[in-house]
Amino acid sequence: MLIIIIMRISRTRRAKLENPMDRIIGGVKAVMMSWGLGEGCSSIYAVLLASCEPLSAKEISERTSYAYSSTINYLNTLIKLGLVARFRRIRKNRYLANVNFVELIKAERERVLGYLDLLRDDLEGIKELEHLSENVERAINYLRRVEDADDEARKGG
């Protein structure tokens, strides 16, 4: 019980000490890391997402405290993933986050569905792992229902 109270106090203090922008950046960073992005890429994406305007690599480097060369490497990774766009303005490259969480979630759902389909195929006919096969099938059905609901929402909306 004491631990829960201390944790609540710590969260409350943290919320008061951090400014709202830092909390938002931390939240976006946590989401991106949970999707498998590394800490550096997640931090840079979060900073870009929270920015009102496109930023240069130098500005991003200063805001994240990463070395300029690391920042460039992370940005190139984010560009390859389609999460960041690069364009030229006043003789400098500028970077802008692609903000489409729905598309990111859909891509993640499709990726997970692909893995589950492969796993289901591998489990087929293995009697000792029927319980796992049933769980995999339930997960696949759930993801397909989510996809169907999304399709229905688009048609109706």
Does position 34 have pLDDT exceeding 90, yes or no? no
Write down which residue in 98, 126, 144 finishes a domain. 98
Phi-psi region of 82 (alpha: psi -120 to 50; beta: other; left: phi over 0): left
Are 20 and 69 in a shared domain?
Answer: yes
Are 14 and 69 in a shared domain?
Answer: yes
Would you tell me how many other CB atoms lie within 10 Å of the CB of residue 43?
24
In the chain, how many domains are there? 2
Are 91 and 124 in a shared domain?
Answer: no
| pTM higher than 0.85 | no
Domain that holds residue 119: 102-156
Beta-bridged to residue 6, according to DSSP, are none
Does position 15 have pLDDT exceeding 70, yes or no? no
Are 91 and 115 in a shared domain?
Answer: no
- Average pLDDT of the segment spanning 43-66: 94
Write down which residue in 69, 98, 127 finishes a domain. 98
Write down which residue in 98, 127, 143 finishes a domain. 98
pLDDT of residue 60: 96
pLDDT of residue 16: 53
Q: Which run of H or E residues covers position 76?
A: helix 68-80
How many residues does this entry show for the chain?
Answer: 157
Per residue in 95-143, pLDDT (tens digit) is 999 877 777 788 788 888 999 999 999 998 888 988 899 999 999 999 8
